Structure 1
């Protein structure tokens, strides 16, 4: 009885490990990108149990152990970069640097959540240069209006469909634009933020819809929005930041493709996962809220903030403008196959990089 049970568990582990490799866009398959850490933990426990109870000399036992070991290796390959065991992709900022910095607080507030004071308190305590809220409706806009004395530059798009978005900034915002790139009712925001008289940064705030049984049965819409923004950035030498709730995990194939095509860097690599969702369930968490940036920056800090009553934790990231660090920061390159796949993704949704606003940015 024990061997059939272990065989069944090992086959299930193999299936959930192999299915995402297909790149099929169905929500059930793409959803298996999310719990890679949990699947890796399950593989460790199963492997330990197999080593204890099975006779390793038997071919059937050895096969089960090898399969579990492969699954553990494969899941670990995706998640280890988001631990301190891996080299940092972005260098640490110099201590006491006097260079211009950009502190961004990204917060999915959860529309029905009414604990606005928790977010307001975080903003007053940490004083971010830019606050971007996701899922913020008219009620949230009314509550957050108290921030406008200190953060007078705003972009507002209150919606009651879980895709409202707001940006509040201490720093001047110019060329602001709200777009619906792939789906009606799912906005993105684009602007130029002035760090100093000599430095302006192009910023993109995103919140594409997720693949799920209640929204989009396929991931095509989400993937297309991420990749078309990546393609619009690819050939730019400007300082750029992209942030938001991307409804995708940091280690998914789609997010990895976004990084390859855009050339942007992920400050979490070599530092930690910074799992922001689900705030209520410690054992079911993954990194859904992201910040990527161009090679013009180093990282002063990146922190997951305390709960604000949402199902997401806010993410606070401080970047330092350090153009001399360009040769030291290392991203990942796109292959011809990657570029072909990116073209295929955006063509399916009939969206072009020419539709993406390209706010002015410069670094003198």
Structure 2
């Protein structure tokens, strides 16, 4: 029995060492994302590195002794501090309460949602979206099993963006207000999914853009898409512009921080985790989302009334509901 306990203690101490080292190495490497897109790819898993550091520290305190405990605690703390340095600004910004808009301001309700081409409950998805009575709906992965959702929204909304290609219309947008101009990014090239639409509104026309970025791994293509998006939207007035989509990037990454600055808009989604949710693979289900990768940006003419996460539907993403006013 004593041998078993000794082996168990060695195993737990070894596990503590492994977790502490993972947290420290990954956390410090993430800081290098300020200079390298390849290293920046690790920042998206910051919650994992933080969990490794916390678990390693707990095991070290519980099962290690004296100098070993101090050494492991120091290594774990190094990783935890590095990760928190990345995440804390975003987490603190999520605590800020939005300003109360003036009573004479006109409100806009927008739903941003990756409907998922493998959507396993399009009926529930459709019912929820219609119940929102949103003014604007932006969908990504609006094909495959999610096509019934698109058909229903086209019937419910008087205006929607068109698709001029047999393939590649990943992003669809729907509006209660007339679309006076629109353009799909695929009309230029195949490097970026999405498009924009300019809406005729009693308070003045404004443009909504929707997009769906690739994963940030391997590095390079995501950053190229970000530069492309900024270039395609450069001609629009920043005050009233709204940009939304599945950016597949977390707000504590250096790449998304650079995009925030390049767009010249305020990101209204703050630490709002939207992925994964439900049965996001054939073998795994997520009880709650961890990564905030769906974003909503808006110009300074718009005031934030409320931004919240919707329920788990048939997608691997949660919808994002943003209410803005101007």
TM-score (norm 2): 0.81
Matched, 1:165 2:168: no
Give matches, 1:251-330, under 5 Å: 251-269=252-270, 273-280=271-278, 281-282=286-287, 285-321=290-326
* Counterpart in the other structure of 2:31: 21
Is the CA contact 2:161–2:182 (under 8 Å) kept in the aligned structure 1?
A: yes
Q: CA deviation at 1:277?
A: 0.8
1:94 pairs with one of 96, 101, 109: 101
Q: Distance in 2 between matches of 1:285 and 1:93?
A: 29
Classify 1:44/1:185 alpha carbon distance in 2 versus 1 (closer, same or farther; 3 Å). same
Q: Offset of 1:33 from its aligned partner?
A: 2.2
**What residue in structure 2 maps to residue 33 of structure 1?**
43
Q: 1:39 and 1:284, CA in 2 relative to 1: closer, same or farther beyond 3 A?
A: farther
Give the unaligned 5+ runs of structure 1: 213-217, 322-364
Larger radius of gyration: 2
Residues 227, 85 of structure 1: alpha-carbon distance in 2 compared, 3 angstrom cutoff: closer
Distance 1:10 1:199 in 2: 55
Decide whether aligned partners of structure 1 residues 160 and 205 sit closer, same or farther in structure 2, where only a CA change above 3 A counts. Answer: same
Which residue in the other structure is 2:160 paired with? 154
Match of 1:71 in 2: 79
Unaligned runs of 5+ residues in structure 2 are 1-9, 279-285
User: How many equivalent residue pairs?
Assistant: 306
- Partner Cα distance (2:221, 2:302) in 1: 30
TM-score (structure 1 length as normaliser)? 0.73
CA RMSD, aligned part only? 3.0
Structure 2 counterpart of 1:205: 210
Q: Aligned pair in 2 of structure 1 residues 159, 289: CA closer, same or farther (>3 Å)?
A: farther
Matched-pair contact (CA < 8 Å) for 1:301–1:317? yes
What SS class does the counterpart of residue 121 from structure 1 fall into? Answer: helix
- Structure with the higher helix share, 1 or 2: 2
Going from structure 1 to structure 2, the CA distance change for 1:92 and 1:113 (only over 3 Å counts) comes to same
Match of 1:118 in 2: 124
Q: Aligned to 2:19, what secondary structure does the other structure show? A: helix
Give CA-to-partner distance per residue, 1:99-131, whole Å, 9 cap, x none: 122211111111122522222212221111111
Where does residue 341 of structure 1 map in the other structure?
A: none
